[in-house]
């Protein structure tokens, strides 16, 4: 053994309780491998409407060889919220209202709290403890509303920017925080009044009559021949 190698060996013997790793190719400074993260699951906050992720493995320094104990080892508890991705994702309004364990979400116009003016926005899964049928919807808070698949949630319109922090971005309207809970819209609403119909829709309705105004007409008695007839109104009868 050469003098240089003897010196290295002697130096190593002076270090007590430490390990030296050469050729380390992992992410830890002094060897060892970080603990693999468990898959995170997204749950939708019924108040904000935003997805939050839970899971992700243990809390702490994955390169620290000391064992974690108690709460440090447990991932964050999963809330009783609906999954962000579910069988409800992407459903249109009518399909959402009919699907079990799904609830329709509506967006109120800006500065408008009249739920009659709200527009269908999305379909979300009910809370894990749902889906409740019956009991009413009025007055429920965001969480309790999310447990019912026979209730719909109304959210206000807010303005925000989805660009990375510091980037220029014009705030755009988007679904905001929870406003109120209500029953599902009637799947068979009454037909519109005759006066609201177009000419084509009026002609198709047996309980409505279309009325016209004649242009350039020649009349004999109560019979008129006109060059043009212009739709005027639709009335019941």
From start to end of 46-90, where are the E strands?
51-54, 82-83
List, for residues 120-146, the tens digit of each pLDDT value.
Answer: 999 999 999 988 999 999 999 999 999
pLDDT at residue number 188: 58
pLDDT grade for 170, boundaries at 50, 70 and 90: confident
Does residue 107 form part of some domain? yes
Same domain, 218 and 148: no
pLDDT at residue number 233: 95
At which residue do the structure tokens 């799904």 appear?
102
Same domain, 97 and 178: yes
Same domain, 227 and 158: no
Contacts of 36 (CB under 8 A, 6+ apart): 57
pTM: 0.57
Mean pLDDT calculated for residue range 13-36: 41
Same domain, 118 and 179: yes
Bridge partners, 5 (sequence order): none
Cis amide bond preceding 131, omega within 30: yes
Does residue 45 form part of some domain? no
Same domain, 213 and 136: no
Same domain, 179 and 212: no
pLDDT at residue number 39: 54
Q: Is residue 218 classed as helix, strand or coil in its secondary structure? A: strand
Domain that holds residue 141: 93-162+170-183
Mean pLDDT calculated for residue range 218-222: 86
Torsion angle in degrees (nearest 10) through CA of 117, 120, 126, 127? -60
User: Is the predicted pLDDT of residue 171 greater than 90, yes or no?
Assistant: no
List, for residues 174-215, the tens digit of each pLDDT value.
Answer: 899 999 999 998 755 678 899 999 999 999 999 999 999 989
Mean pLDDT calculated for residue range 31-45: 62
Does residue 57 form part of some domain? no
Q: Compare 120 and 26 and report the one with higher pLDDT.
A: 120
- Percent pLDDT > 90 in the chain is 52
Does residue 216 form part of some domain? yes
User: Is the predicted pLDDT of residue 108 greater than 50, yes or no?
Assistant: yes
pLDDT at residue number 80: 94
User: How many domains does the chain fold into?
Assistant: 2
Let me know: does 51 contact 84? Beta carbons within 8 Å. yes
pLDDT at residue number 34: 40
Does residue 115 form part of some domain? yes
Same domain, 217 and 150: no
User: Is the predicted pLDDT of residue 49 greater than 70, yes or no?
Assistant: yes
Does residue 77 form part of some domain? no
Same domain, 206 and 178: no
Same domain, 144 and 204: no
List, for residues 73-89, the tens digit of each pLDDT value.
Answer: 455 578 999 999 999 99
**Other Cβ atoms closer than 10 A to 120:** 16
Tokens for 39, please give them: 């898959």
Same domain, 137 and 209: no
User: Is the predicted pLDDT of residue 45 greater than 80, yes or no?
Assistant: yes
pLDDT at residue number 169: 79
């Amino acid at each position: 053994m050469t003098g240089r190698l003897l010196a290295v060996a002697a130096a190593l013997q002076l270090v007590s309780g430490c390990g030296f790793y050469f050729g380390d190719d992992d992410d830890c400074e002094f060897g060892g491998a970080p603990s693999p993260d468990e898959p995170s699951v997204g749950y939708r906050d019924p108040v904000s409407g935003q997805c939050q992720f839970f899971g992700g493995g243990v809390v702490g320094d994955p390169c620290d060889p000391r064992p974690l104990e108690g709460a440090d080892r447990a991932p964050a508890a999963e809330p009783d919220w609906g999954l962000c991705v579910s069988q409800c994702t992407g459903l249109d309004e009518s399909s959402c209202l009919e699907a079990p364990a799904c609830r329709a979400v509506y967006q109120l116009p800006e500065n408008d709290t009249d739920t009659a003016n709200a527009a269908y926005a999305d379909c979300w899964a009910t809370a894990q403890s749902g889906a409740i049928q019956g009991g009413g919807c009025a007055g429920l808070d965001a969480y309790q509303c999310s447990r019912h698949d026979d209730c719909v949630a109304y959210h206000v319109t807010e303005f925000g920017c989805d660009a990375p922090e510091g980037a220029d971005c014009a705030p755009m309207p988007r679904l905001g925080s929870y406003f109120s809970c209500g029953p599902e819209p009637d799947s068979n609403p009454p037909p519109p009044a005759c006066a609201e119909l177009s000419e084509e829709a009026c002609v198709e309705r047996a309980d409505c009559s279309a009325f016209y105004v004649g242009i350039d007409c020649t009349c004999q008695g109560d019979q008129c021949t006109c060059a043009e007839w212009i739709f005027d109104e639709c009335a019941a009868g």
